[in-house]
C-alpha cells in the first residue's frame, strides 16, 4: 500500500516559509517581491488559475497585480505592456496566462518577457539553460514534481528508470530533462507509443501528464514504483480526477500523489518560489 504524498501539505510549508520572508521584509520597511499576472479574455479555466495565483500571493503577503485585458486586445498592445513591466524595477515576475487568443503569437509573447522575470520558466533562454543543466527559472509544474521527489528522498535517481507519459512543452519535456539531471534513465512516451504499458511497468518513477481520466491502470505500474499524477480531469460523474486510477494503483505503488491536493498546489508554490528567487537576484543587482 503506497504512502499518499499530499503536495498540498508540502506547498503549505513552502508558502509558510515564504510568508515569513515577506513578514521580515515588511517589518524592515523593505520593498516586497511583486508578481504581475496578465490575462487576456475570459476563458473560465484561465480565470480560475489566475485567481488561485492571486489568492496565493495574498496569503503569503507578496505584492501582486492582475491585469485583465479583453479578448480583442491587439498583440502590439500586449507587447508594449510587457515591455513596461520589463523596465519596471518594482516588478520581479511577469506571467502571461496561457492559452492566448488565436490572433496572438504565443512564441512572440513569451519571447518578449525579460528572462530575468520569467517566473513561469517558459522563455526559450530559460528553457535552453534548463536543457544544459544550468541554474535558471524552471517551469513550475516540473519544478514542483522534483520538489515532491526530493521530499520523499528521491532526488538522486542514479540507477533508476523513470518513465514520463506525455511530451508537452510545459510538463512532459521539461520533467524528462529534470529527471535526467537527477541521474535517472528516462523514457518519454506519448500517444503514438506502442505497447505503452510494457514501458511504464518498468518504471521506478512514473510521471503521468496526459489529461485522460484514470488512463494509468494498476497493470501499467511496477510494484513499489513512485507514481506522480499531474493530470487534472473530470470523470464521467464530473468528479475531479487524475490520469492515474488512484484507488487501484495505490495498492501497488510505494508513493503516489493524489488529484486534487497533489501536484496542482505545488505548481502555485513554485511560482511564488520563482518570484522570490527573482526578487533576490534583482535586489543583489541594485
Ligand atoms: P497536453 O499538452 O495535452 O499533452 C498531453 C500529452 O499526453 C501529449 O504528449 C500526448 O501525446 C499524450 N497523450 C495523449 N493521450 C495519450 C495516451 N492515450 N497515451 C499516452 N500518451 C498520451 O497536456 P499537458 O499540458 O502536458 O497537461 C497534461 C495534464 O496535466 C492535463 O490534465 C493538464 O490539465 C494537467 N496539468 C496539470 C498541472 C498542474 O499544475 N497540476 C499543470 C499542467 C498541466 P502526443 O504528444 O502524441 O499528442
212 lines ligand 1 (CB under 6 A): yes
> What is the Cα gyration radius of the chain?
19
Q: What is the pLDDT of residue 286?
A: 75
Cell reading at 167: 511530451
C-alpha cell at 141: 509544474
**What residues form DSSP beta bridges with 35?**
64, 93
Q: Which of 5, 145, 211 to probe ligand 1 with, by most ligand atoms within 8 A of CB? A: 211
The Cα-based distances of 26 to 22, 32, 77, 133, 285 in angstroms read 6, 7, 34, 35, 20
Q: What is the Å distance from ligand 1's center to 209 Cα?
A: 5
* pLDDT for the residue 285: 85
Helix (DSSP H) and strand (DSSP E) numbers for the chain: 10, 11
User: Which residue in the block uniquely carries the three cell numbers 520563482?
Assistant: 274
Q: Distance (Å, rounded) from C-alpha 253 to C-alpha 188? A: 20
CA 150 to centroid of ligand 1, rounded, Å: 23
Q: Which residues are catalytic?
A: 53, 97, 120
Nearest to 63 by CA among 33, 23, 20: 33
DSSP code at position 115: G
**What is the C-alpha to C-alpha distance for residues 255 and 11, in angstroms, rounded to an integer?**
17
Task: Quote the DSSP letter at residue 114.
Answer: -
Cβ of 264 closer than 6 Å to ligand 1, yes or no, is yes
Instruction: State how far Cα 70 lies from the chain centre.
Output: 26
Q: How far is the CA of 285 from the centre of ligand 1 (A)?
A: 38
Q: Which of 94, 171, 96, 186 minimizes the C-alpha distance to 138?
A: 171
Could you tell me if the CB of 198 is within 6 A of ligand 1? no
For the chain, 286 residues long, the average pLDDT of each consecutive 10-residue run is: 97 98 98 98 94 97 97 98 98 97 97 98 98 97 98 96 98 98 98 98 98 98 98 95 98 98 98 98 90
The pLDDT value given to residue 184: 98
Amino acid at each position: 500500500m503506497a504512502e499518499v504524498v499530499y503536495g498540498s501539505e508540502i506547498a503549505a510549508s513552502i508558502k509558510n516559509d515564504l510568508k515569513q520572508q515577506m513578514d521580515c521584509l515588511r517589518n524592515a520597511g523593505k520593498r516586497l517581491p511583486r508578481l504581475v499576472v496578465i490575462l487576456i479574455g475570459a476563458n473560465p479555466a484561465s480565470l480560475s488559475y489566475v485567481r488561485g495565483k492571486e489568492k496565493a500571493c495574498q496569503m503569503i503577503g507578496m505584492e501582486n497585480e492582475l491585469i485583465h485585458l479583453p479578448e480583442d486586445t491587439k498583440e502590439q498592445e500586449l507587447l508594449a505592456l510587457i515591455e513596461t513591466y520589463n523596465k519596471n524595477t518594482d516588478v520581479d515576475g511577469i506571467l502571461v496566462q496561457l492559452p492566448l487568443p488565436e490572433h496572438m503569437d504565443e512564441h512572440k509573447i513569451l519571447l518578449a518577457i525579460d528572462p530575468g522575470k520569467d517566473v513561469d520558466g517558459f522563455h526559450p533562454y530559460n528553457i535552453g539553460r534548463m536543457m544544459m543543466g544550468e541554474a535558471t527559472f524552471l517551469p513550475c509544474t516540473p519544478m514542483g514534481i522534483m520538489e515532491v521527489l526530493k521530499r520523499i528522498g528521491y532526488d538522486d535517481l542514479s540507477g533508476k528508470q523513470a518513465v514520463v507519459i506525455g511530451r508537452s512543452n510545459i510538463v512532459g519535456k521539461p520533467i524528462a530533462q529534470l529527471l535526467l539531471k537527477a541521474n535517472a534513465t528516462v523514457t518519454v512516451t506519448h500517444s503514438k507509443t506502442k505497447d505503452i504499458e510494457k514501458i511504464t511497468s518498468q518504471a521506478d518513477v512514473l510521471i503521468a501528464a496526459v489529461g485522460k481520466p484514470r488512463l494509468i491502470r494498476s497493470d501499467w505500474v511496477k510494484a513499489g514504483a513512485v507514481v506522480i499524477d499531474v493530470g487534472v480531469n473530470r470523470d464521467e460523474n464530473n468528479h475531479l480526477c487524475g490520469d492515474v486510477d488512484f484507488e487501484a494503483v495505490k495498492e501497488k505503488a510505494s508513493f503516489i500523489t493524489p488529484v486534487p491536493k497533489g501536484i496542482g498546489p505545488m505548481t502555485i508554490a513554485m511560482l511564488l518560489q520563482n518570484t522570490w528567487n527573482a526578487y533576490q537576484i534583482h535586489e543583489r543587482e541594485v
